[in-house]
């Protein structure tokens, strides 16, 4: 006979799941025992269930296949929520196996009882409780199919007295639907958009992750239209390399060239993106949007021409209908501004920058102690990282430095909490990526605030031999919050972090820990950390007052920043 737990684990192994992440106990005991005897699946026990959910969300994003995590009764499952919301907003297919009190205690306010179906209703595309063994095959199939087909989170709840029960004799092992047929808009809609693009003088593309499978067509269309290409952060890994049309990112992590490309165009073409920041879209432009999900059309900016379908077949149909632009001035102007901006940024990353004429002036304002500039950390990691490295990044200033200084060349990949915007995601996402391939270089851009939220799972890297390289931008600050306060004219408050020596903490946990406090030591330390065969924490003490200027700064923001600095100076005196 086969138990419910054995059927669940066997079906997941048959589907290609190679690891399940969580914390053991209570209702999960039959499941983890089934994993113990299933050679195809590795159990990875974390110190906090949030780390488990982040890890499998990263795995699902990197592979496009199912990630699986588990939390036991009540608080164990609740701990999964933040990482599951990350999976939801990243459209990552994830199955969460959640424990529940025994069936006879349901509804009695029993110890640790929570209503999982209600708790997870907002985060999940599917949430059901197995209350009878005969239900198990159907509910397992429904849960996994919902996660895969709707690219979201499915929650399957298992009461404590159900996992060990036998399913009816002769019950078939569940199987899952993985195929997702592509769709495209009507020929009339494609022809209409082609006419608009052909008639426009200046076209700018905003390209997102949805265009991943249409890489060559996107570049060919940009060439035909002589269109500068603003690339969302999530699309950076696909359109950073060998792209003569790219002008970087928009938004707080962006640059002036991207904003110029927006402001100077007649037509803005959104390709496979749901870029959420409305204030960064230009006004008064004709907007075309191509998205496989019709519900995304027009929810960020007004759209005159909609194309609902997958990017690859749609752009393949659109491309031959386009007429080449005779003038490339719009593209050349944006690219010239982008190259000039990148050149200025590169100087900030040079070890001797603070000793040069302009650097001495800036150092007096924002780096009087000659601390390591975070730009230099990003540039060093870009220089030394492998051509197929996977990068993860915490939300906040760590992402700014990665976006500006790491180029996604070769086969590099990138994962972050780019839609949820959570803290503490980079380290567990790096763990998840490393479990997929322990021979591939995994580099996490960690904020000190983010890393110290889930410090306990440093031990997970050691326990399961996950050779991640955790680089901590240790500025003893919640850096992005500090910047937000100062731009609003408020003095910095509540953002200071009293950190221990994080490299020493890592060494106590069994990692190789390296601490860097001098700019002269940075390059060698980065090279050493990336070359080390096991898990490493590189604790880089960086300048807490580094100024990151977005692509467009209002007079009000600049004035607010000046007022904040005056207030801070007066208070310190």
Average pLDDT, the chain: 92
Average pLDDT over residues 298-327: 98
Q: What is the pLDDT of residue 491?
A: 86
d(CA 116, CA 127): 8
Looking at the chain, the whole-number percentage of residues with pLDDT higher than 90 is 83
User: Is residue 564 over pLDDT 60?
Assistant: no
Sorted by where each starts, the structural domains of the chain and their CATH numbers stand as 4-159 (3.40.50.970), 187-338 (3.40.50.1220), 349-572 (3.40.50.970)
Average pLDDT over residues 234-262: 94
**So what's the pLDDT on residue 356?**
62
Strands 413-416 and 94-100: unpaired
pLDDT band at 269 (very low <50, low <70, confident <90, very high): very high
Going by pLDDT thresholds of 50, 70 and 90, the confidence category of residue 242 is: very high
pLDDT at 202 exceeding the cut of 90: yes
Q: What is the mean pLDDT of the segment spanning 114-130? A: 97
CA distance 447 to 454: 12
* DSSP structure string for 457-493: GHHHHHHTT---EEEEEE-SB-HHHHHHHHHTTPPP-
Mean pLDDT of 269-285: 96
CA-closest candidate to residue 366, choices 568, 66, 72: 568
Burial class (CB in 10 A: 0-12, 13-18, 19+), 570: exposed
Average pLDDT over residues 210-221: 97
How large is the average pLDDT for residues 269-276? 96
Per-residue pLDDT of 406-428, as tens digits, reads 999 999 999 999 999 999 999 99
Question: What does the pLDDT average to over 209-227?
Answer: 98
Q: How far is CA 170 from the centre of its chain?
A: 43
Tokens of 294: 């019709």
> What value does the mean pLDDT take over residues 344-366?
65
pLDDT score at 573: 42
To the nearest 10°, report the CA torsion of 260, 262, 264, 266: 170
Each residue of 34-90: pLDDT tens digit? 999 999 999 999 999 999 999 999 999 999 999 999 999 999 999 999 999 999 999
268 vs 103, higher pLDDT: 268
Instruction: Please give the structure tokens belonging to residue 86.
Output: 């990350």
State residue 355's pLDDT score: 57
- C-alpha 124/C-alpha 119 separation (Å) is 10
Q: Two tokens at 492?
A: 């910095």
DSSP 330-380: HHHHHHHHHHHHHHHHHHHTSTTGGGSHHHHHHHHHH-TT-PBPHHHHHHH
Q: Which of 65, 86, 84, 79 is nearest to 19 (CA)?
A: 65
> Is residue 561 pLDDT above 50, yes or no?
no
Side by side, the strands of the sheet bearing 305-308 are 229-231, 203-207, 267-271, 286-291, 305-308
Residues 6+ apart with CB under 8 A from 537: 458, 470, 472, 502, 503, 505, 506, 511, 512, 513, 514
Q: Which of the four pLDDT bands, split at 50, 70 and 90, describes residue 349?
A: confident
In 377-419, DSSP assigns E strands to: 390-393, 413-416
Q: Residue 316: is it exposed, middle or buried by C-beta count within 10 angstroms (0-12/13-18/19+)?
A: middle
Q: Which residue has the higher pLDDT, 51 or 345?
A: 51
Give the mean model confidence (pLDDT) for residues 285-299: 97
Q: 70: closest CA among 52, 87, 82?
A: 52
Contact 394, 446 (CB under 8 A): yes
What is the phi-psi region of residue 431: left when phi exceeds 0, alpha when psi lies from -120 to 50, beta otherwise? alpha
The Cα 53–Cα 153 span in angstroms is 10
Cα 483-489-495 angle, rounded to 5 deg: 40
pLDDT in tens, 451-466: 999 999 999 999 999 9
- Spatial neighbors of 300 by CB under 8 A, at least 6 apart, are 274, 275, 276, 277, 278, 281
Q: How far apart are CA 302 and CA 567, in angstroms?
A: 40
Decide if 135 contacts 143 (C-beta within 8 A): no
Question: Among 122, 117, 57, which Cα is nearest to 84's?
Answer: 57
**At 103, is the pLDDT very low, low, confident or very high (cuts 50, 70, 90)?**
confident
Q: What is the mean pLDDT of residues 137-142?
A: 97
Q: Which pLDDT does position 551 carry in this prediction?
A: 59
549 falls in which pLDDT band (50, 70, 90)?
low
The order of strands in the sheet holding 413-416 is 413-416, 390-393, 442-447, 469-474, 536-541, 512-516
Structure token pair of residue 108: 């009695």
* Mean pLDDT confidence for 188-198: 98
Q: What per-residue string of b and e applies to 397-430 under the rule 16 or more CB within 10 Å gives b?
A: bbbbbbbbbbebeeebbbbbbbbbebbbbbbbbb
């Amino acid at each position: 006979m086969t138990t419910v737990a054995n059927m669940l684990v066997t079906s997941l192994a048959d589907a290609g799941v190679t690891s399940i992440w969580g914390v053991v106990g209570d209702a999960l005991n039959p499941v983890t025992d089934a994993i113990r005897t299933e050679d195809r699946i590795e159990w990875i026990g974390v110190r906090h269930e949030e780390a488990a959910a982040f890890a499998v969300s990263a795995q699902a994003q990197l592979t496009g296949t199912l990630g699986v995590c588990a939390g036991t009764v009540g608080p164990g499952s609740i701990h999964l929520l933040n990482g599951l919301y990350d999976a939801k907003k990243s459209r990552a297919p994830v199955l969460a196996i959640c424990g529940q009190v025994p069936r006879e205690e349901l509804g009695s306010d029993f110890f640790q009882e929570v209503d999982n179906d209600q708790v997870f209703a907002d985060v999940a595309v599917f949430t059901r409780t197995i209350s009878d063994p005969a239900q198990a095959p159907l509910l397992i199939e429904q849960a996994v199919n919902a996660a895969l087909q709707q690219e979201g989170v499915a929650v399957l709840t298992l009461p404590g007295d159900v996992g060990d029960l036998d399913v009816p004799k002769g019950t078939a092992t569940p199987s899952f639907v993985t195929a997702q047929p592509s769709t495209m808009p009507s020929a009339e809609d494609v022809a209409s958009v082609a006419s608009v693009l052909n008639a426009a003088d200046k076209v700018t593309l905003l390209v997102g992750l949805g265009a991943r499978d249409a890489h060559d067509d996107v570049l060919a269309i940009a060439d035909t239209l002589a269109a500068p290409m603003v690339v969302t952060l999530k699309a950076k890994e696909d359109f950073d390399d060998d792209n003569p049309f790219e002008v970087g990112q928009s938004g707080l992590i962006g640059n002036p060239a991207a904003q110029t490309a927006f402001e100077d165009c007649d037509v803005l073409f959104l390709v496979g993106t749901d870029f959420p920041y409305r204030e960064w879209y230009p006004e008064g432009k004709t907007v075309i949007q191509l998205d496989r999900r019709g519900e995304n059309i027009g929810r960020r900016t007004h759209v005159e021409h909609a194309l609902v379908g997958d990017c690859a077949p749609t752009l393949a149909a659109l491309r031959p209908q386009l007429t080449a632009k005779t003038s490339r001035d719009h593209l050349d102007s944006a690219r010239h501004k982008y190259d000039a901006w990148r050149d200025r940024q590169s100087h900030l990353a040079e070890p001797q920058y603070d000793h040069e004429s302009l650097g001495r002036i800036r150092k007096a304002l924002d780096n009087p102690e000659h601390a390591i500039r975070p730009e230099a950390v990003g540039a060093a990691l870009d220089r030394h990282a492998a051509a197929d490295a996977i990068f993860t990044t915490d939300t906040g200033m760590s992402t700014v430095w990665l976006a500006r200084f790491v180029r996604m060349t070769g086969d590099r990949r990138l994962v972050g909490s780019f839609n949820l915007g959570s803290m503490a995601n980079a380290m567990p996402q790096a763990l998840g990526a490393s479990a997929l391939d322990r021979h591939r270089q995994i580099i996490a851009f960690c904020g000190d605030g983010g890393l110290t939220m889930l410090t306990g799972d440093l031990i997970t890297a050691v326990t399961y031999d996950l050779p991640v390289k955790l680089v901590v931008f240790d500025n003893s600050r919640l850096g992005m919050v500090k910047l937000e306060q100062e731009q609003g004219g408020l003095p910095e408050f509540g953002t200071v972090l009293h950190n221990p020596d994080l490299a020493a903490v890592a060494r106590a946990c069994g990692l190789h820990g390296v601490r860097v406090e001098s700019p002269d030591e940075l390059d060698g330390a980065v090279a050493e950390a990336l070359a080390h065969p096991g898990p490493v924490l590189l604790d880089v003490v960086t300048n807490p007052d580094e100024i990151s200027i977005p692509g467009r700064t209002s007079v009000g923001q600049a004035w607010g920043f000046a007022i904040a600095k005056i207030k801070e100076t007066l208070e310190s005196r």
